[in-house]
Structure 1
Amino acid sequence: MQLLVLVQDYPSESNKYAMNYVHTRNLEYIRDQVEVNVLSFNTKESYTYEGINVLSYDDFFNQYNGDNIHLVISHAPNLRNHIRFLLNKKIVYRQVLFFIHGHEVMKKSKYYPQQYDFIQTSSMKNVANNLYDSLKLTYLKGFITKLFNQNKLKIIFVSEWMKDVFLENIKIPESILDKNSYIISNTMNQVFLEKTYLPIDNKRADFITIRPLDTSKYGVDLVVKLAEKHPDLTFHIYGKGKYFEYREKPENIEVFQEFLTPNDLAELLNHYHCAVMPTRLDAQGVMMCEIATYGMPIVTSDLPICKEMLGSFDNVFFMNNENVNIDLHSVLTEIKPIETTKELKQKFSLENTTLKELNVVKALLK
């Protein structure tokens, strides 16, 4: 087997959003004639999705005959499945490539914002999560060090910020990590690179937000604060959740309990003046980057990761999460002409993202 990709979940016809950022990569790999097989730990039955073979855990072992796997790519490697798989003595592989996306190298209690109070978690579960995170970080350090010593592991970080967090928690000597790692941002869905924001006159509302409603790190509560500060402006929120069953919804907010395909989203964005995409924690913020690259004006949070990703973009406005002091009327009047967005396509272009990592993959396959 040439290339095996390990994921916790993967897109399917019934769930097109599961770790879609892995699927966009794999499509580029097969376009370059790289054979790709995916092992999804969540799936119970194998299937094919847009030309990618997705295997269940049981089916993989039924088909695997002990041949040498040239390269195993592990996205967000966890102890429960990824590391357990790589430690299985039946599995023979030459090289491993880790993609570090976030939670897998974090102690959540240190980095993650407090959940909304209507999300019930027991103190016992919190204790268990903390113990697991401590074990996870200790074990990962040992496993990664072992593979580095065997010259069998490379790591790709999606941002400089993500690499810094890794070093804070895994504590491998930086000089060793530098020799064995790369910083390459996630790619994005091609529609945001190939097309450009073209606002239409008949707007549905002033602002659009696309966020899961019940995850505090995505800051729907911050969108509500903005709406309350700007009662003369209108806001549409697309995403599923129960947030507004527990919180009052301002009259100038309308909620659509749905998610959208990339093509549908790109078309929908043209019906709004500006996107509001706050965050409290991100390793990159792919959708935020997609919207900015598309050329649409966007408001996001004044965090180091957001500045790293979008600090050079003229169509991005940064707000302070702590007091939400941005004046959205000023944002609407300071929107840059869409002609300036063509140069924005380069940072997250295929050449600067997936094709760079594809060069790493092909080198490891030799």
Structure 2
Amino acid sequence: MKILVLTTKYPKENETVAMMYVHTRNKYYVANGIDVTVLNFGASQGYEIDGVNVITKEEFRKSSYHYDILVSHAPNLKHHYLFLNKYAEDFGQMVFFFHGHEVLKRTDIYPPPYPYVKQSRLSFLNGIYDTFKLGVWNRFFSSNYKKCHFVFVSQWMGEMFRKYVSLDERTMEGRMSIVYNSVGSMFETLVFNGDKKKKYDFVTIRSSLDGSKYGVDIVTEIARQNPESTFCVVGKGEFFLHNPPPDNLIWVNKALDHMEIIEYLNDSRCALMPTRADAQGVMACEMATFGIPLITSDIDICREIFRDFGNVGFINNNDKSADVLGLLSLLEKSRGEKNQRFFASNTVGEEVKLFLTLVGMEHHG
């Protein structure tokens, strides 16, 4: 089976780790005998990474191609739509993966930014653009629905798609799948060491501290309310330059690789990962799968994602005096078997099955 994967960016050795969640999937596909080519709209020349062939739009145009399935990750208008408008009829099956804001009205979903984050003077146009974007996708999917399949990284994401792209329910019938993002392989195999002497009571790890949806202000307030506990926040950004942390909060201004993340988790009693909005929140899923007690926000998406995790507890984002220590002592008592919900076999494995089903339908159709 040959698939073409469309993506706006893609990892390149020693250069970028952009859209790593797409590469993680592709490596699994290759290991399962699927021939994968990635069309990276951001590449100026082709390259190979971990057995995955990456090409440019120009190289695609010049090639004589045949693919069983076209896969589009986080489709946007600028690249994906223009490509699809030109080439959609050349593909028998198209699978669209929705990871976040690409089918949302951002002004409805995301919280207002922190005051110090400079807003583009054009930011008010986001709402207008999103309305236009959703209308374009509605028309495209309505015209091509017979060969489209839609994959959402959470039930919540699927509901948002229904709400905002508002396709006819009959159009969607039998064409929707919920497949969660998988966690990094070492979170599958390694287990949290609860017995090791701890440096921190609570650790928060974020790729960026400046997005208000990541709730670093919530963590800071909880630290203030619990001066006897030690908090560690790891991540790059300017938040603490504008909001000096209390004495019991240590800020580590760096980005971590997987091995470093595991070291910080093993040095802590609990992961504190509040959020105001997310399509899934892979980092928190990795922590919960690893086995550390995790405290996150009591919002719909988090309830869905962690519904069967005994080591996860929930707090109200607006409760400044949330009893995180009381919650932690309950979570520490509930150590159980590793939860396999986000293992590759239960996530990307389902995508492979979907592709095989679609190709089978095509050949028998």
| Global fold match (TM > 0.5) | yes
Give 1:136's aligned residue.
Answer: 133
**Partner residue, 1:275:** 271
Q: Trace 1:155-234 onto structure 2 (pairs within 5 A).
A: 155-211=150-206, 212-234=208-230
Distance 2:328 2:157 in 1: 32
The residue that corresponds to 2:346 in the other structure is 352
Does the Cα contact within 8 Å between 2:225 and 2:321 map onto a contact in 1? no
Cα contact 1:21–1:188 (8 A) shared by 2: no
* 3-state SS of 2:262 partner: helix
Structure 2 partner of 1:362: 356
> Residues 155 and 90 (structure 1 numbering): CA distance in 2 closer, same or farther, change over 3 Å?
closer
Q: 1:95 to 1:269 in 2, by over 3 A?
A: same
Query: CA distance change for structure 1 residues 6 and 54 in 2, over 3 Å: closer, same or farther?
Result: same
1:290 alignment partner in structure 2: 286
CA distance in 1, matches of 2:94, 2:103: 17
1:39 corresponds to which residue?
Answer: 39
Q: How much does 1:352 deviate?
A: 2.0
**Aligned residues with identical type, % of pairs:** 36
Q: Which amino acid aligns with 1:356?
A: E
Q: After superposition, give the CA deviation of every residue in 1:302-321 in whole Å (9 maximum; x if it has no partner).
A: 01010001022111110111
**Once the 2 structures are TM-superposed, how far is the Cα of residue 90 of structure 1 from its aligned partner?**
9.2
Which amino acid counterpart does residue 23 of structure 1 have in structure 2? H
CA positional deviation for 1:15: 5.0
Distance, in Å, in 2 between the alignment partners of 1:262 and 1:147 is: 40
Residue pairs, 1:41-120, within 5 angstroms: 41-62=41-62, 64-65=63-64, 67-89=65-87, 92-120=90-118
In the alignment, the residues of structure 2 paired with residue 220 and residue 50 of structure 1 have an alpha-carbon distance, to the nearest angstrom, of: 35
Within 1, Cα distance between the matches of 2:245 and 2:224? 9
Residue 199 of structure 1 contacts residue 271 of structure 1 at CA under 8 Å; is this kept in 2?
A: no
Paired residues of 2:39 and 2:55 also in contact (CA < 8 A): yes
Q: 1:338 to 1:235 in 2, by over 3 A?
A: same
Counterpart-to-counterpart distance in 2, 1:108 and 1:90: 27
SS in 2 for 1:209: strand
Structure 1 residues 183, 131: closer, same or farther in 2, change over 3 A? same
Q: Could you tell me how far apart the structure 2 residues matched to 1:235 and 1:356 are?
A: 38
* Counterpart-to-counterpart distance in 2, 1:70 and 1:31: 18
Paired position in structure 1 for 2:236 = 240
1:197/1:338 contact within 8 Å kept? no
Aligned-residue Cα RMSD (Å) equals 1.9
> Kindly tell me: are residues 317 and 15 of structure 1, through their superposed partners in 2, closer, same or farther at Cα, counting changes over 3 Å?
farther
Residue 194 of structure 1: how far off its partner (Å):
1.4
Cα drift, residue 354 of structure 1 = 1.0
Report if the CA contact (8 A) 2:310-2:334 is conserved: no
- Unaligned stretches of 5+ in structure 1? none
Partner of 1:20: 20
CA gap 1:317/1:339 in 2 versus in 1, 3 angstroms: closer
Pair 259,16 (structure 1): closer, same or farther in 2 beyond 3 Å: farther
User: Is 2:269–2:293's contact at 8 Å kept on the other side of the alignment?
Assistant: yes
Instruction: Give 1:16 shift.
Output: 5.3
Name the counterpart of 2:330. 334
Distance 1:324 1:72, change over 3 A: farther
Match of 1:153 in 2: 148
**C-alpha distance in 1 between matches for 2:217 and 2:242:** 12
The structural deviation recorded for 1:68 is 3.0
Alpha-carbon spacing, 1:87–1:292, altered in 2? closer, same or farther (3 Å): same
Which is further off, 27-36 or 257-266?
257-266
* Deviation per residue, 1:207-264 (Å, 9 max, x gap): 1111111111111111111111111111111111111121122111112222222233
Partner in structure 1 of residue 10 of structure 2: 10
For residue 94 of structure 1, report the CA deviation from its aligned partner. Answer: 1.8
Secondary structure in 1 aligned to 2:92? strand
Q: TM-score, normalised by structure 1?
A: 0.92
Q: Which residue type is aligned with residue 27 of structure 1?
A: K
* Alpha-carbon separation, structure 2, partners of 1:310 and 1:89: 39
Q: In 2, are the aligned partners of 1:3 and 1:72 still within 8 Å (CA)?
A: yes
Q: Distance in 2 between matches of 1:188 and 1:178?
A: 29
In structure 2, relative to structure 1, the CA distance for the partners of 1:15 and 1:304 (3 Å cut) is farther
Deviation of 1:337 after TM superposition, in Å, equals 4.8
CA contact (8 A) 2:196 2:266 kept: no
TM-score, normalised to structure 2, is 0.93
Alignment coverage as a number of residue pairs: 359
Residue 110 of structure 1 deviates from its aligned partner by 1.0
Kept in 2: contact 1:101–1:283 (CA 8 A): yes
Aligned partners of 1:315 and 1:335 also within 8 Å: yes
Which residues of structure 2 form unaligned runs of 5+? 361-365
